[in-house]
Structure 1
Amino acid sequence: MTIALGPVMVASGCGGTGRELAPFLDLDGVAFVTRSVTLDARQGASGPRVVEVSGGLVNAVGLPNPGLEHFLATELPWLVRAGARVFVSVAGSTLGEYADLARRLSRAPGVAGLEVNVGAPDETGLDLFEVREPYHAASVVAAVRREFPADRPVLAKLRPDVSRVVEGARACHEAGATAVVLGNTVPAAFPDGRPGGLSGPAVAPVVLRCLTETARSLPGVPLVACGGVHDAASARLFLGAGAVAVQIGTALLHDPTTVARVAAELGDDA
Structure 2
Amino acid sequence: MSGLEPHTLPPVWLGPGAVSDARPLARCADLTDVPVVVGPVAAGAGRVRTGRTDLFSLGVGGVEYADAHPVAPGAAEAVLAWAASRGLSVVVAVQGGRTTELAAVVQGLRRCVDAEALVAVEVDLRTADDQTVLRSMARVREAAPRDLLLLARLASGEPDLVGRARAAVAGGAGVVVVCGQVRLGPDRWWAGPSTLAHTLAGLRELATAAGEQRWPGAPLVASGGVHDTASAEAAVRAGADAVQLGTALWADPTLLDPLRDATLRARESLRRDR
Q: Is 1:179 the equivalent of 2:175? A: yes
Query: Match of 2:29, as an amino acid?
Result: L
Distance 1:68 1:45 in 2: 14
Q: Is 1:169 the equivalent of 2:176? A: no
Structure 1 counterpart of 2:142: 146
Structure 1 counterpart of 2:66: 60
1:24 and 1:47, CA in 2 relative to 1: closer, same or farther beyond 3 A? closer
Q: Give the TM-score normalised by the residue count of structure 1.
A: 0.85
Structure 1 counterpart of 2:98: 94
Structure 2 counterpart of 1:159: 155
Structure 2 residue matching 1:224: 3-state secondary structure: strand
Distance 1:47 1:228 in 2: 17
Match of residue 226, structure 1, among 212, 223, 228: 223
Structure 1 residue matching 2:253: 3-state secondary structure: coil
Structure 1 residue matching 2:259: 3-state secondary structure: helix
1:90 and 1:184, CA in 2 relative to 1: closer, same or farther beyond 3 A? farther
Following TM superposition, by how much is the alpha carbon of 1:67 offset from its aligned partner in structure 2, in angstroms?
0.4
Matches within 5 A, 1:184-263: 185-188=181-184, 196-219=188-211, 220-263=217-260
Following TM superposition, by how much is the alpha carbon of 1:177 offset from its aligned partner in structure 2, in angstroms?
0.6
Work out the percentage of aligned pairs sharing the same amino acid.
Answer: 31
Distance 2:152 2:60 in 1: 29
Structure 1 residue matching 2:45: 3-state secondary structure: coil
Distance 1:67 1:233 in 2: 37
Distance 2:176 2:245 in 1: 15
Following TM superposition, by how much is the alpha carbon of 1:83 offset from its aligned partner in structure 2, in angstroms?
3.1
C-alpha contact (below 8 Å) 1:170/1:218 kept by paired residues: no
Give the total of aligned pairs. Answer: 253
Query: Match of 1:51, as an amino acid?
Result: S
Q: Give the TM-score normalised by the residue count of structure 2.
A: 0.84
Following TM superposition, by how much is the alpha carbon of 1:235 offset from its aligned partner in structure 2, in angstroms?
0.6
Q: Is 1:11 the equivalent of 2:33? A: no
Following TM superposition, by how much is the alpha carbon of 1:70 offset from its aligned partner in structure 2, in angstroms?
3.6
Q: Deviations over 1:232-258 (max 9, x none)?
A: 110111111111111111100000111
Distance 2:206 2:193 in 1: 20
Following TM superposition, by how much is the alpha carbon of 1:80 offset from its aligned partner in structure 2, in angstroms?
2.7
Q: Which segment drifts farther, 244-253 or 157-166?
A: 157-166
Following TM superposition, by how much is the alpha carbon of 1:16 offset from its aligned partner in structure 2, in angstroms?
2.1
C-alpha contact (below 8 Å) 2:20/2:52 kept by paired residues: no
Structure 2 counterpart of 1:126: none
Question: Higher helix proportion, which one?
Answer: 2
1:202 and 1:94, CA in 2 relative to 1: closer, same or farther beyond 3 A? same
Q: Deviations over 1:154-200 (max 9, x none)?
A: 000011225311111011111111111010531126xxxx9720011
CA RMSD of aligned residues (A): 2.4
Structure 2 counterpart of 1:75: 79
Structure 1 unaligned regions, length at least 5:
121-130
